[in-house]
Chains A and B, each alone.
Chain A
């Protein structure tokens, strides 16, 4: 049994496609196309879910204000302070 080429001991000028299952290209194309579309669908669902959740969390104005402080922090210590950590303990 062979999925493609069985020997190199032949006239190489006669060799065309070298990949396995030659002749099934349309099937592979359809699988590839479906994979691409599916990827976008899954990614959109994932992204929308994350943003919906985060958006909901930040309806709490205090949490949004804290998040802004954290985002603006340039160092770990600034981040910790923004989170209200006691650095002296």
Chain B
């Protein structure tokens, strides 16, 4: 790059996304801590490794096909057009590796492609990838203590590198068919990450069934207490922290929106994913106010329960996220509170009515709050343009309502229900009941017991030899 201002803009954008990735890594750390804390001691290592291995497995598959889907399937394909050519995103593209932006060697690429994508492709891919981890990690918490790792990792790849990125292509890109036809607006992913992941988790749970002992003979649920509440709460704090990275990763930091607005002069702004202008200040105000609205409501509705107060903070942000680029902060706070009431009531109703054992409340916090967030956005932002492109549908309650069900049901619940059903029919979904009862960390547990018992006896003999004990 020979133009200093262009270089500054490009390299700033490159570093901007890189920083969001580092922040978002904390989401995964938080989810791991949260799940391990929520599990019983006999299942800790299994729970940890199940979520940890999401990182490599979703990463490689997102490289192999996820990234290409985002650009190629924005039209459906088959709804508003065919498969879109995206030669910079194929796993065999020269732009999926170290590149200086000069003349391409592959005939599918142009000089404009290499100039535009050489420095941005990797960090942009990584920002989306971290969303993929989050989607899979949300599901991970719901199914702890009884799912086979093999089954979970197949399901993680399905949502992390396939279904969520389809929904992003459809409803979270400037040219997605849902944006064009439905006026779908979901700036910070109430639906495209949270509703889909919650719906997906529910689809798995239907086949997986509850943990042994979760429900009494009369059908009322028992509370399976987290073995370490401090790990749970610190995990949730870390998820809050990573959420900051998630929010700014949804934006494009510097973009000339002037031409799209019909202006004769450039107008540089931060934009949302639809390339419509917003500001980082706006989303900072709304993030904190919706977090606050969620926590305040959660505290009251759960009578001060720490687990639900923390979870309600997340649910509050999630409920307001669809429109947090445009809401007034107090609107965001109130929407967050309403979303928390909705998800909290839904969680216990579904648990009792359908005997669904959602171990960490993931379906509620992400699924119900995310669904709610998409729907309410249709009322509050009714009539707003969904993108900068003239002729696209505007935001409406019915467009958002349909969109919320596409996220939660069509791309969330249904694929999970099908894949989990296949795994179940093959006997590969659930841990054998004797092993579940004994504890999933049996091998580690026995190894630890033998070592610790050996050390304990050695200490005792040494203490006796030194005359310290009789």
Do chains A and B interact in one complex?
A: yes
A interface residues with partner B (beta carbon < 8 Å): 12-19, 22-23, 25-26, 28-29, 32-33, 35-36, 39-40, 43-44, 47-48, 50-51, 54-55, 58-59, 64, 67-68, 70-72, 74, 76, 79-80, 83, 85
Q: Check: B61 CB closer than 8 A to any chain A CB.
A: yes
Q: Check: B15 CB closer than 8 A to any chain A CB.
A: no
A79 to B100, CA, bound (A): 60
Determine whether the beta carbon of B449 is less than 8 Å from that of A47.
Answer: no
Determine whether the beta carbon of B452 is less than 8 Å from that of A47.
Answer: no
Known: A22-B94, A71-B42. A64 touches B100 (CB 8 A): no
- Show 28 residue pairs from A and B whose CB-CB distance is below 8 angstroms, ordered by the A residue: A12-B102, A14-B102, A16-B99, A16-B101, A16-B103, A18-B100, A25-B92, A25-B94, A25-B97, A29-B64, A29-B92, A32-B63, A33-B64, A36-B60, A40-B154, A43-B150, A43-B153, A47-B150, A51-B431, A51-B435, A54-B434, A54-B443, A59-B434, A64-B437, A74-B41, A76-B452, A80-B453, A83-B453
A64 to B428, CA, bound (A): 22
Determine whether the beta carbon of B453 is less than 8 Å from that of A17.
Answer: no
Residues of B near A64 (CB, < 8 A) are: 434, 437-438
Determine whether the beta carbon of B61 is less than 8 Å from that of A16.
Answer: no
Determine whether the beta carbon of B99 is less than 8 Å from that of A71.
Answer: no
B interface residues with partner A (beta carbon < 8 Å): 2, 40-42, 57, 60-61, 63-64, 91-94, 96-106, 114, 148-150, 153-154, 428, 431-432, 434-435, 437-439, 442-443, 445, 449, 452-453, 456
A35 to B63, CA, bound (A): 13
A22 to B42, CA, bound (A): 49
Determine whether the beta carbon of B98 is less than 8 Å from that of A18.
Answer: yes
A17 to B445, CA, bound (A): 49
A14 to B443, CA, bound (A): 57
Residues of A near B442 (CB, < 8 A) are: 54, 67
- Interface centre among B61, B96, B100, B438, by most chain A C-beta atoms within 10 angstroms, is B438
A48 to B104, CA, bound (A): 47
Distance in Å: Cβ of B230 to nearest Cβ of chain A: 16
A58 to B440, CA, bound (A): 13
Distance in Å: Cβ of B40 to nearest Cβ of chain A: 8
Determine whether the beta carbon of B445 is less than 8 Å from that of A71.
Answer: yes
Known: A58-B435, A79-B449. A17 touches B97 (CB 8 A): yes
A54 to B433, CA, bound (A): 11
- Our pick among B103, B150, B435 for the contact of A55 (Cβ within 8 Å) is B435
Residues of A near B91 (CB, < 8 A) are: 25, 29, 32
- Our pick among B61, B104, B449 for the contact of A70 (Cβ within 8 Å) is B449
CB-nearest residue of chain A to B443: A50
Number of A-B contacts (CB under 8 A): 120
Residues of B near A58 (CB, < 8 A) are: 434-435, 437-438
Residues of A near B57 (CB, < 8 A) are: 36, 39
Determine whether the beta carbon of A17 is less than 8 Å from that of B99.
Answer: yes
- Interface centre among B64, B431, B442, by most chain A C-beta atoms within 10 angstroms, is B442
Known: A16-B100, A26-B92. A40 touches B431 (CB 8 A): no
Distance in Å: Cβ of B117 to nearest Cβ of chain A: 12
- Per CB-CB distance, the 10 closest pairs between chain A and chain B, nearest first, are A71-B42, A67-B438, A71-B439, A15-B100, A58-B434, A18-B98, A25-B92, A55-B432, A17-B94, A16-B102
A50 to B60, CA, bound (A): 26
Residues of A near B106 (CB, < 8 A) are: 25
Known: A36-B60, A54-B434, A67-B442. A83 touches B449 (CB 8 A): yes
A74 to B445, CA, bound (A): 12
CB-nearest residue of chain A to B91: A29
Residues of A near B2 (CB, < 8 A) are: 13
Residues of B near A59 (CB, < 8 A) are: 434
Determine whether the beta carbon of B428 is less than 8 Å from that of A17.
Answer: no
A50 to B445, CA, bound (A): 14
A14 to B118, CA, bound (A): 13
Distance in Å: Cβ of B90 to nearest Cβ of chain A: 8
Residues of A near B154 (CB, < 8 A) are: 40
Determine whether the beta carbon of B449 is less than 8 Å from that of A25.
Answer: no
A51 to B101, CA, bound (A): 51
